[in-house]
Amino acid sequence: MQYKVERIWFIAFESKGIYKVGGLGEVAGSMTKALTSKNLKVALIMPSHGVIKNEKTREKIRLSEVEAFSSEVLGKEYKIAIYKGLLDSVELYVISGANEEAEKVLENPVVYADGITEPKAALLARSMSVLYDIGNWKPDIVHINDWHAVPSGMALKLYGQKIKSSIPLLFQIHLYCGKWVDRKYLSDFCGLDLRAKLRVHLNGEFKEYTLEQLYLLSEGILERLAAYISDVVATVSESYLKKDENNILRNIGFQFENKSTYIYNGCDWRLEEILDNVLERHREGIEEYLGVEADHADRKLLRKYFLEKALGELPENEPIIKDEYLARLIKELKGPIANDVGKPLPFEEDGPLIITTGRTSVQKGFDVLMKAIPHILKIYPTAKFLFLLLPVRGGESLVKELFTEACKYPRNVRVIFGITPSIYHLAHIAATLYAAPSRWEPFGIMALESMAVGTPVVASRVGGLSETILDLKEHGIEGTGFLVPKDSIEDLARAIISLISLMEEKADNVLYQELKKLACTGVSIRIRNNCIRRVEENFRWIKVADMAINAYNNALLKAQG
pLDDT of residue 518: 86
The beta strand positions in 420-486, using DSSP E, are 433-436, 457-460, 481-484
First CA to last CA distance, the chain: 11
Number of residues written out for the chain? 561
pLDDT of residue 537: 97
pLDDT score for 560? 81
Burial of 4 by CB count in 10 Å (0-12 exposed, 13-18 middle, 19+ buried)?
exposed
Which helix (H) or strand (E) segment holds residue 504: the answer is helix 489-504
pTM for this model (two decimals): 0.91
In this chain, the answer to whether the domains covering 7-266+542-559 and 271-539 adopt an identical fold is: yes
Residue whose C-alpha is closest to residue 318's, from 213, 470, 439, 422: 422
CA 478 – CA 456 distance, rounded (Å): 12
Instruction: Report the amino acid identity of residue 539.
Output: F
Cα separation of 288 and 475, whole Å?
Answer: 42
Instruction: Tell me the three state secondary structure of residue 235.
Output: strand
Taking phi first (over 0 means left), then psi (-120 to 50 degrees means alpha), and beta for anything else, what does residue 115 get? left
Residue 185 Cα distances to 70, 125, 226, 229, 421, angstroms: 18, 12, 15, 18, 38
Q: Which CATH number is 271-539 given?
A: 3.40.50.2000
Residues 6+ apart with CB under 8 A from 90: 32, 33, 36, 42, 43, 44
Please tell me the distance from the alpha carbon of residue 377 to that of residue 158, in angstroms, as a whole number.
Answer: 59
Handedness of CA 141, 145, 146, 152 (dihedral sign): negative
Arch. (CATH architecture) of 7-266+542-559: 3-Layer(aba) Sandwich (3.40)
Asked if residues 510 and 230 have their Cβ atoms less than 8 Å apart, the reply is: no
Single-letter code of the amino acid located at 365: G
Q: What is the pLDDT of residue 23?
A: 86
Domains in the chain: boundaries: 7-266+542-559, 271-539
Question: How many Å apart are CA 509 and CA 488, to the nearest integer?
Answer: 20
Q: pLDDT averaged over consecutive 10-residue blocks of the chain (561 residues)?
A: 86 96 92 97 98 93 96 95 96 98 96 95 98 95 99 97 93 97 97 95 86 98 98 97 95 96 97 97 98 96 98 96 93 94 95 97 97 99 98 94 98 98 98 98 96 99 97 97 98 99 93 89 94 98 97 92 70
